[in-house]
Amino acid sequence: MRVTENTNYGIVRDSIRRSRERMQDLQLQSSTLKKLNTPSDDPIGAAKILEMRTDKFNNNQFQMNSKMAEGFLDNTDHAISDLTELVLRAKEIALNQSSAASSNEDTRQGVAEEAGQLFKQAVMIANRRVGDRYLFGGYKTQSPPVDPEGQYLGDEGEMMVEIGSDVFISMNIPGVDVFNTHPKNLENLENLESLDEAPSDNANLPENVNLFDELQNFRIALLTGSLEGIRSTLERFDQIYDKMVATRAKIGSRIQGLQSTTQAIDRHNLTNASLNSALEDADMAQVVSDLGKEETVFRSSLASSKRLIQPTLLDFLK
Amino acid sequence: MAIPNILNTGKSGMIASKIAIATTGHNITNANTEGFSRQRVQTTTADTGASFENNVIGGGTRLSRVERVNDEYIEKQLRIGQKDLSHYEEKDLVLKQVEDIFNEMNGDGLNRLVSRFFNEFRKLSEESENPAVRQSVREATQAMVNDFHRIRNEVNEVVRHVDSRIEGYTKEANATIGDIAELNRKINVLEVAGGSPNDLLDKRDLALKKLGSLFDISMHRDKNGNFNVDLVGGGPLISSGEVDKLTVERTPANSDGKPDNSFDIKTTGKVPGVITHQVKGGRLGALVEVRDKAISTVLSRLDDLAFSMTQSVNAIHQQGITAGGLTHISYFKPLEEKQRAAEFIGLSDDIQASANNIATAMIANAPGDNRIAIAISKLQNERLMDQGNATVDEWYNSIVSDVGVAAQRNRFALNQQRDIMTQLGKVRDQISGVSIDEETTNLLQYQHAFDASAKVIQVADDMLKTVLALKRD
Q: Which residues of chain B make contact with A160, given a CB cutoff of 8 A?
A: 125, 370-371, 374
Inform me whether the pLDDT recorded for B119 exceeds 50: yes
Q: Give the per-residue pLDDT at A193.
A: 45
Q: Give the per-residue pLDDT at A109.
A: 85
The percent of residues above 90 in pLDDT, for chain A, comes to 56
Give the distance from residue B209's alpha carbon to the nearest chain A alpha carbon, in angstroms.
Answer: 20
| B239-253 residue pLDDT tens | 887 898 999 999 888
Measured between CB atoms, which of A6, A39, A132 is closest to B102? A39
Residue B371 and residue A160: Cβ atoms within 8 Å? yes
Residue B242 φ/ψ, nearest 5 degrees: -80, 140
Measured between CB atoms, which of A3, A40, A65 is closest to B126? A65
Domain parsing of chain B, residue ranges: 3-69+433-472, 77-420
Q: Give the per-residue pLDDT at B298.
A: 92
**Rounded distance, CA B90 to CA B215, Å?**
12
Residue B116 and residue A57: Cβ atoms within 8 Å? yes
**Rounded distance, CA B296 to CA B292, Å?**
5
Mean pLDDT for A149-154 is 91
Q: Which residues of chain B make contact with A57, given a CB cutoff of 8 A?
A: 112, 115-116, 119
Contact A115, A223 (CB under 8 A): no
Q: Which residues of chain B make contact with A32, given a CB cutoff of 8 A?
A: 106
Q: pLDDT grade, residue A77 (50/70/90)?
A: very high
Q: pLDDT grade, residue B19 (50/70/90)?
A: very high
The percent of residues above 70 in pLDDT, for chain A, comes to 93
Q: Which residues of chain B make contact with A50, given a CB cutoff of 8 A?
A: 104, 111, 393, 396-397, 400
Complete DSSP assignment for B415-429 = HHHHHHHHHHHHHHH
| B267-281 residue pLDDT tens | 887 666 888 888 889
Q: pLDDT grade, residue B473 (50/70/90)?
A: low
Inform me whether the pLDDT recorded for B70 exceeds 80: yes
Q: How far apart are the first and last CA of chain A?
A: 28
Residues, chain B, total?
Answer: 473
**Rounded distance, CA A72 to CA A80, Å?**
12
Q: Give the per-residue pLDDT at A205.
A: 67
Core vs surface per residue B391-424: b (16+ CB within 10 A) or e? bbbbbbbbbbbbbbbbbbebbebbeebbeebeeb
Please name every residue paired with A281 in a beta bridge, in sequence order, or none if there are none: A34
| Closest to B111 (Cα-Cα) out of B147, B71, B153 | B147
Q: Give the per-residue pLDDT at B105.
A: 83
Considering only alpha carbons, which residue of chain A is nearest residue B397? A47
Q: Which of A159-168, B105-114, B263-272, B288-297 has the lowest mean pLDDT?
A: B263-272
Residue B127 and residue A161: Cβ atoms within 8 Å? no
Inform me whether the pLDDT recorded for A60 exceeds 60: yes
Inform me whether the pLDDT recorded for A187 exceeds 80: no
Q: Give the per-residue pLDDT at A127.
A: 94
Inform me whether the pLDDT recorded for B7 exceeds 60: yes
Sequence-ordered list of residues with C-beta below 8 angstroms from that of B246, at least 6 positions apart, any chain:
B170, B173, B174, B265, B266, B267, B268
Inform me whether the pLDDT recorded for A63 exceeds 50: yes
Report yes or no: B76 at the A interface, CB cutoff 8 Å: no
Q: Which residues of chain A make contact with B367, given a CB cutoff of 8 A?
A: 139-142
The percent of residues above 90 in pLDDT, for chain B, comes to 70
Please tell me the class of the A71-275 domain.
mainly alpha
Q: Give the per-residue pLDDT at A189.
A: 47
Considering only alpha carbons, which residue of chain B is nearest residue A35? B105
Range 95-134 of B in CB contact (< 8 A) with A: 95, 99-100, 102-106, 111-112, 114-116, 118-119, 122-123, 125-129
Task: Using alpha carbons only, give the angle B231, B232, B238 rounded to the nearest 5 degrees.
Answer: 30
Measured between CB atoms, which of B111, B366, B422 is closest to A54? B111
**Rounded distance, CA B395 to CA B354, Å?**
31
Q: Which residues of chain B make contact with A13, given a CB cutoff of 8 A?
A: none
Q: Give the per-residue pLDDT at B1.
A: 58
Measured between CB atoms, which of B394, B398, B436 is closest to A5? B436
Q: Which candidate in A32, A56, A61 is best for mutational testing of the B interface (most B CBs within 10 A)?
A: A61
Residue A65 and residue B122: Cβ atoms within 8 Å? yes
**Please, what sign has the CA dihedral across residues B244, B249, B252, B253?**
positive
| Closest to A143 (Cα-Cα) out of A156, A129, A161 | A129
Q: Which residues of chain B make contact with A64, given a CB cutoff of 8 A?
A: 123, 126
Q: How far is CA B367 from CA A143, B292, B370, B426, in A?
A: 9, 50, 8, 78
Please name every residue paired with B227 in a beta bridge, in sequence order, or none if there are none: B221
| A239-297 residue pLDDT tens | 999 999 999 999 999 999 999 999 999 999 999 999 999 998 999 999 999 999 999 99
**Please, what sign has the CA dihedral across residues B69, B71, B74, B80?**
positive
Q: Which residues of chain B make contact with A62, given a CB cutoff of 8 A?
A: 122
Measured between CB atoms, which of A7, A62, A133 is closest to B368? A133
Residue A162 and residue B431: Cβ atoms within 8 Å? no
Mean pLDDT for B332-352 is 93
Measured between CB atoms, which of B115, B366, B435 is closest to A140? B366
Q: Which residues of chain B make contact with A5, given a CB cutoff of 8 A?
A: 31, 435-437
Residue B106 and residue A32: Cβ atoms within 8 Å? yes
Considering only alpha carbons, which residue of chain B is nearest residue A21? B415
Range 443-462 of B in CB contact (< 8 A) with A: 444
Domain parsing of chain A, residue ranges: 5-35+282-317, 71-275
**Rounded distance, CA A76 to CA A175, Å?**
10
Sequence-ordered list of residues with C-beta below 8 angstroms from that of B6, at least 6 positions apart, any chain:
B456, B459, B460, B463
Report yes or no: B400 at the A interface, CB cutoff 8 Å: yes
Sequence-ordered list of residues with C-beta below 8 angstroms from that of B350, at least 6 positions apart, any chain:
B326, B329, B330, B357
10 Å Cβ neighbour count for A267? 10
Q: Give the per-residue pLDDT at A78.
A: 95
Report yes or no: B436 at the A interface, CB cutoff 8 Å: yes
Range 187-206 of B in CB contact (< 8 A) with A: none
Inform me whether the pLDDT recorded for B28 exceeds 80: yes
Q: Give the per-residue pLDDT at B284.
A: 94
Q: pLDDT grade, residue A198 (50/70/90)?
A: very low
Q: pLDDT grade, residue A15 (50/70/90)?
A: confident
CA torsion, points B241, B247, B253, B259, in degrees to nearest 10?
A: 110
Q: pLDDT grade, residue A24 (50/70/90)?
A: very high
| B322-331 residue pLDDT tens | 988 899 999 9
Q: Which candidate in B119, B392, B409, B440 is best for mutational testing of the A interface (most A CBs within 10 A)?
A: B119
Contact A223, A217 (CB under 8 A): no
Task: Using alpha carbons only, give the angle A33, A35, A38 rounded to the nearest 5 degrees.
Answer: 115
The percent of residues above 70 in pLDDT, for chain B, comes to 98
Q: How far apart are the first and last CA of chain B?
A: 25
Residue B41, helix vs strand vs coil: strand
Complete DSSP assignment for chain A = ----HHHHHHHHHHHHHHHHHHHHHHHHHHHHSBS--SGGGSHHHHHHHHHHHHHHHHHHHHHHHHHHHHHHHHHHHHHHHHHHHHHHHHHHHHHHHSSTTT--HHHHHHHHHHHHHHHHHHHHHHT-EETTEESSSTT-TTS-SB-TT--B-------EEEEETTEEEE----HHHHHBSSHHHHHHHHHHTTSSSHHHHHTTSPPP-BHHHHHHHHHHHHHHT-HHHHHHHHHHHHHHHHHHHHHHHHHHHHHHHHHHHHHHHHHHHHHHHHHHHHHHB--HHHHHHHHHHHHHHHHHHHHHHHHHS---GGGG--
**Rounded distance, CA B403 to CA B409, Å?**
10
**Rounded distance, CA A60 to CA A272, Å?**
13
